[in-house]
Chain A
Amino acid sequence: MEEIAPSYDLVVLGTGLTECILSGVASVKGAKVLHMDRNDHYGGASASVNLETLFKAYPNSYTPGTEPWKKYGRPNDWNIDLVPKLLMSNGELTNILVSTDVTRYIEFRQVAGSYVQQGQGSRATVAKVPSDAGEALRSPLMGLFEKRRARNFLNWVAAFDEANPSTHNGMNLTQATMRQVYDKFGLEATTRDFVGHSMALYTTDDYIDNRGMAKNCVERIRLYVNSMARYGKSPYIYPLYGLGELPQGFARLSAIYGGTYMLNTNVDEIKYGADGKVEGIKATMKERGEAGEGFKFETKCKKIIADPSYFPDKVQVVGHMLKAICILNHPIDKTDNSDSLQLIIPQSQVGRKHDIYIAMVSSAHNVCPKGYYIAIVSTVAETSANHHLELQPGLERLGKIEEQFMGPPIPLYGPKAGGEADNVFLSKSYDASSHFETMTDDVRDMYRRAEGQELVVEGLKDGQNLVAEE
């Protein structure tokens, strides 16, 4: 085995998307990066796995000794995401992908539809989320007069320009609550629901009375509308072969700029100096089933970036997420036979505090064989028992389910400290939101903590071109 360098600027632990983006950025900027993962695959908590691996990750989903995955074709034709998220086509992750040229390694395809549920049980209606004023007028979600009010509201959002007070409609958004804004346009409760939850993508109603949140809400709606306008069918795009391609793409970027990659590598010890700052790391690379001690090494480093699982003592639980991965052999009812979609069940419609999300993809994105659909139902856990009941409204929406994979509530972690004291900078777990905007916020936040400056991805690679690229 080739020797490891005696020192690195940055050691990254875990190959989740957050870590891989930061590793890629650091390498492009010239840092000497050593990136490792204890697993034998890339992606950590944001990996996509094949069907056999998925069954084995949920031992309760099948009888030991049987091989239920065999009836679903080749396991490797399945790429099942562990986090249910989609990319906003005008969002920050798209911006980072384009700025770093990682788009060269990954193909994207539109998600066919964005839906919202009104009501519950047998009386529930499911409708496309209107994406602009024109669609609002055609939407079955609202009555005639409400449609006009919604159109006025969406026209105002589209025209809003912070620098131009004449577009503010007499409101100061940095002071106003969103309730005041809704009141001003006279929007009904059901309209507020789909605007706040399926366009602004808030998972709870906390935003409504939060002073100063109105501006944030307007920005979120604009992100939704602009993302929608980019390709037309929905505001979302999704990578062929699953979300697991994303960390791999950024890892490749990092490697191309000199980053060293080691999978199957366990951390044995983190060394700290007298000042409490990290100084180095001892680790062992050993493939599963490989005989002997493995390849042991030690190296110095100035900083560590890691996902929460590598530093259990330095993180705390900030919430719990519930998730059921379901395999269907039919599209979801009332969704125009969409091959992929997001469907949001706003909390108020089903008597909850947090929305229930359904993210569905299919063979159209090369994540499963033809004829199958992978739907992930998720929400934030609100009770301490009977969690499957919390997901029930979402599971009902799916119709007949071939296989369902659900475990106990998934703890979400966040770092206890910023990391400046020990130079160990930790990411947050992937949260229950349906897109990557909070993940990219975390990337920016970590970069700020670790580097003491803002991350600017635009123009990142300019002047950094290696061996002529075309």
Chain B
Amino acid sequence: MAARMQQGGRPGGGGARFAQFKLVLLGESAVGKSSLVLRFVKDQFDDYRESTIGAAFLTQTIALDEQTTVKFEIWDTAGQERYKSLAPMYYRNANCAVVVYDITQASSLDKAKSWVKELQRQANENIVICLAGNKLDLVTEQPDKRAVTTADAEAYAQEANLLFFETSAKTSENVKELFTAIARKLPIEQASQGRGARGAAGRPGGVDLGSRQEPGAQGGASGCNC
């Protein structure tokens, strides 16, 4: 599940580059983790979204330039963080993480900081982490709702070497920018040289058990693909 790279074009030439990375989401309940992803992946927002019944397995592709495409394989916590019960599997081989807090709840930044620590403990050492102060729309409407100043969060992000954005999943402000910034920091070049781990089927002896046919999945059994 780590960085997967397929190189189009001639080997060693300047052909199109495509790399896939695992991205995990962290943060306190109700800060808008799933909403951020939903905005990014489907460009949707739902004001009354119930707490995560999960986004099982989302992917989204960004074109960084004409040559370079990055695909995010996005893992949602599925609510397992609620009672501190995230499995090690979640962090395993994550290439990047978005740690979300709610700019109207000061305590959620403290929680975010503890998640950053947890990531540094459990995840790959070169993981790219982005701090996201979500619900920017709320303070645009009512500035007195802000509980975390931009300067404070930014100072922390700088000190901990994190990317930093204030975002709104509702208005989509800075959402695409955040994911693009992460993509730009990922070791695409390294992956292109085959240094990233490959998917199971690509390993020697790796097996692809295949997943179930998705109903209506593209290239499904019905219809002719020629």
Contacts and interface: CB of A to CB of B under 8 A. Distances in A.
B192 interface: no
B53 A257 contact: yes
A372 interface: no
13 contacts: A2-B29, A98-B211, A103-B209, A104-B57, A237-B207, A248-B88, A256-B56, A258-B53, A261-B83, A263-B83, A466-B55, A466-B56, A467-B34
Contact of A256 (B54, B59, B212): B54
Contacts of B55: 466-467
A469 B38 CA distance: 11
Contact of B206 (A1, A107, A258, A260): A107
Contacts of B210: 98, 103
A197 B47 CA distance: 60
Interface in B58-94: 58-59, 76, 78-80, 82-85, 87-90, 92
A240 B82 contact: no
B184 interface: no
Interface in B199-221: 199-200, 203, 205-207, 209-212, 214-215, 217
B205 A110 contact: yes
B42 interface: yes
B182 interface: no
Interface size range on A against B = 35 or more
Contacts of A255: 54, 78-80
Interface string A90-112: 00001001110101111111101
A255 B54 CA distance: 7
B205 A260 contact: no
B1 interface: yes
A101 to B, nearest CB: 5
Interface string A103-127: 1111111101000000000000000
B26 to A, nearest CB: 15
Interface in B168-222: 199-200, 203, 205-207, 209-212, 214-215, 217
A19 B82 CA distance: 20
Contacts of B84: 263-264, 287
Nearest to B76: A256
A251 interface: yes
Contacts of A105: 1, 89
Contacts of B214: 465, 469-470
A329 B13 CA distance: 41
B200 A108 contact: yes
B1 to A, nearest CB: 7
A467 B80 contact: no
B96 to A, nearest CB: 17
Nearest to A459: B212
Contacts of A285: 83
Nearest to B59: A470
B201 to A, nearest CB: 9
A372 B159 CA distance: 39
A112 B204 CA distance: 11
A117 B57 CA distance: 45
A224 interface: no
A352 B85 CA distance: 44
Contacts of B87: 42, 248, 251-252
Interface of B: 1, 29, 34, 38, 42, 53-59, 76, 78-80, 82-85, 87-90, 92, 199-200, 203, 205-207, 209-212, 214-215, 217
B205 A109 contact: yes
A112 B205 CA distance: 8
A261 B80 contact: yes
B85 A262 contact: yes
What are the nearest 8 A-B pairs in CB distance?
A: A107-B200, A255-B78, A256-B54, A248-B87, A261-B85, A248-B89, A262-B83, A467-B55
Which of B85, B203, B212 has most A Cβ within 10 Å?
B85
Most central of B34, B54, B199 by chain A CB within 10 Å: B54
A366 to B, nearest CB: 9
A25 to B, nearest CB: 14
Given A2-B29, A264-B84, A468 B42 contact: yes
Contacts of B207: 89, 108-110, 231, 237
A233 B205 contact: yes
Contact of A97 (B57, B203, B209, B217): B209
A249 B89 CA distance: 8
A297 to B, nearest CB: 10
Interface in A223-256: 231, 233, 237, 240-241, 245, 248-249, 251-252, 255-256
Interface string A184-210: 000000000000000000000000000
Contacts of B215: 462-463, 465
A213 interface: no
A11 to B, nearest CB: 14
Contacts of B38: 467
A50 to B, nearest CB: 10
A161 to B, nearest CB: 26
Given A2-B29, A255-B78, A255-B79, A240 B200 contact: yes
Contact of B53 (A101, A287, A466): A466
Contact of A94 (B89, B199, B209): B209
Given A364-B205, A466-B56, A469-B57, A260 B92 contact: no
A364 B82 CA distance: 34
A461 interface: yes
A54 to B, nearest CB: 16
A101 B213 CA distance: 10
A104 B206 contact: no
Contact of A101 (B76, B92, B205, B211): B211
A38 to B, nearest CB: 12
Contacts of A103: 209-211
B92 A241 contact: yes
Contacts of A263: 83-85
Interface in A164-194: none
Contacts of A104: 57, 211
Interface string A423-466: 00000000000000000000000000000000000000111011
